[in-house]
Amino acid sequence: MRRRTFVVAMVVLLAPAAAAWPWGHRAHRIVSRQAVALLPEPLRTFYAKHADYLTNHSIDPDLWSMEKTYPAYTHYIDLDLLEEAPFENIPKTWDDALAKYGEARLKQAGTLPWEIARRKDELTAAFREARWEDVVRQSAWIAHYLADATMPMHTTKDYLGRDAGNIVLEERGPNRSVHHRLEWGLFEKLPQRCEGIAGDPGNVSPLDDVLAESWKTVRHSWTLIPPVLAADRAAAAADDSFGETYYRYLDGVMRPLVSQQLRRSQELVASVWLSAWEDAGRPELPRTSWPGAIDIVIIAAAVIVLVGGGFYWRYRMIREHLRRKG
């Protein structure tokens, strides 16, 4: 979520249709839940136990921005505020970038890749120290930022599309700009839009360098800006009132791109969770609350022994009673 966070928050809170989440809510929830299914064991079982928490708290970073308790600039990086494409001259580490641009310019452009790297380190430390509640919290939060990195309009200073000539409305809400229409309006008008989009477990693996992967992701997202802008202009030409015709046109054109980015989000989230666990030394995970197959056999045997023993004891007592009376 970007500079419009407070307005978006109020609309979401006051609107009767609770399903009208932007990319920062509806899709974030689905990305986090679907990422669990892509994990290898034993992580999949551990994360599945906490799937509801991960789903519900994957939107926490947006809420922090709305409440102004955590900076909004952690959600994006305007690459074109720092260098010209293909952005190879942007230093990858925070210290080198700070030395080159200064803190004020970096905060203006956004700090998303470094936020991802910092949170991955925190997740790794939580795994290493067996702080399981922190593991789940950090997993939900880093999932949000990783998904943000796959959103094309989170990588440019022209995130509204005004400089490109796309329509920008003065009114606030899901139709205001190409950014709003893509990540909010599309999912409001077509709430089933991202249901059923699932990544490939074969694309999930430990990452050697999460920071480098974050930079690769945001640079790729930036290359998708031209087709996003073109699709918005074409859809607006068909319906400049941004009604059902506009969104069905936009969905028809953008379906492959949006699906690709949501799948990539899920695979990236699962890969980073896996990387943190691997880098922490693959610590033994806490047992789930549900018994495994061996546990079930042991419990069943214990029940049989106890119940059978009880019946046998009652049978002996009855026989002894009858013997004495006879």
CA 231-233-237 angle, 5° bins? 115
Task: List per-residue pLDDT tens for the chain, 326 residues long.
Answer: 554 443 333 333 333 333 333 354 778 888 999 999 999 999 999 999 999 999 999 999 999 988 999 999 999 999 999 999 999 999 999 999 999 999 999 999 999 999 999 999 999 999 999 999 999 999 999 999 999 999 999 999 999 999 999 999 998 888 999 999 998 888 778 877 667 789 999 999 999 999 999 999 999 999 999 999 999 999 999 999 999 999 999 999 999 999 999 999 999 999 999 999 999 999 999 985 544 444 444 445 554 555 555 555 555 555 554 555 55
Q: Closest Cα partner for 250 from 233, 265, 226?
A: 233
Rounded distance, CA 148 to CA 275, Å? 19
Say if residues 187 and 174 touch (Cβ distance below 8 Å).
no
Give the pTM: 0.81
Say if residues 24 and 141 touch (Cβ distance below 8 Å).
no
Q: Closest Cα partner for 222 from 64, 82, 91?
A: 82
Rounded distance, CA 65 to CA 144, Å? 13
Domain-wise residue ranges, the chain? 5-279, 291-326
Could you please state the CATH topology (level 3) that the domain comprising 5-279 is classified under: P1 Nuclease (1.10.575)
Rounded distance, CA 141 to CA 273, Å? 11
Predicted pLDDT of residue 308: 55
Task: Tell me the three state secondary structure of residue 59.
Answer: coil
Rounded distance, CA 59 to CA 67, Å? 13
